A and B are shown apart, each in its own frame.
Chain A
Amino acid sequence: QSALTQPASVSGSPGQSITISCTGTSSDVGTYNLVSWYQQHPGKAPKLMIYEVSERPSGFSDRFSGSKSGNTASLTISGLQADDEADYYCCSYAGSNNWVFGGGTKLTVL
């Protein structure tokens, strides 16, 4: 199972919106609406931000949204804030109790 493909880095200014893409295959992202996104600050454990492509955990900010088209999922962060600066990872279920992560994207808030 190959890793999902994410851009290595993205950047944006406070208040702007950015989108991070996550490209898989017809064996994972393309087949299952079971893509999740995780935020990781340096030295910390990952934190769930989005599940089932576009669902947010209860109480989480609606500045974070997810979508999917074909084999590519996307995470959009609107109204960028300084604390959004972190690494972001997508993850897709790949069937038969297998999961695959993306390589991660470093978000820089300028």
Chain B
Amino acid sequence: QVQLVQSGVEVKKPGASLKVSCKASGDTFTIYGFSWVRQAPGQGLEWMGWISAYNGHTNYAQNFQGRVTLTTDTSTTTAYMELRSLRSDDTAVYYCARTIAASRHFDYWGQGTLVSVSS
């Protein structure tokens, strides 16, 4: 069955960088895209960006442009999200979600990675 397994809890200081991984299994990696979605404590879901695992094309939400980079490694079927210049308001749970190209929805989600940014 399809599984997305994310890397573990991260504790960072303001100004640092973060890289979260999302290991996919159970299906052909390169026919899908992967989106990243975050959820601040007690808040709603916020879409951050999308990457095609087929050709590496990306698109980022305006709020994150210049600070986020999405990549994939097809040899290990892993998607990555790097976020730079961390601030305290980046404290959130970060999710990866497999993205279906034709119908533009997120059918499988990772378990989430808790990121805490504090001095």
Q: Measuring CB to CB, which residues of chain A are less than 8 angstroms from any residue of chain B? A: 1, 3, 32, 34, 36, 38, 40, 45-48, 51-52, 55, 57, 89, 91, 93, 96-104
Contact = CB atoms under 8 A, between A and B. Distances in A.
Tell me if B's interface is mostly helix, strand, loop or mixed. strand
Given A45-B111, A47-B109, A32 B45 contact: no
A101 B107 CA distance: 15
B106 interface: yes
Given A101-B44, A101-B46, A48 B103 contact: no
Contacts of A46: 37, 45, 95, 97, 106, 109
Given A3-B44, A45-B95, A104-B44, A98 B59 contact: yes
Contact of B104 (A34, A101, A102): A34
Interface residues of B, number: 24
Given A91-B106, A101-B47, A1 B61 contact: yes
A89 B45 contact: yes
Contacts of B97: 46
Nearest to A55: B103
Contact of B105 (A1, A48, A100, A102): A48
A101 to B, nearest CB: 4
B49 to A, nearest CB: 9
A71 B103 CA distance: 18
A104 B45 contact: yes
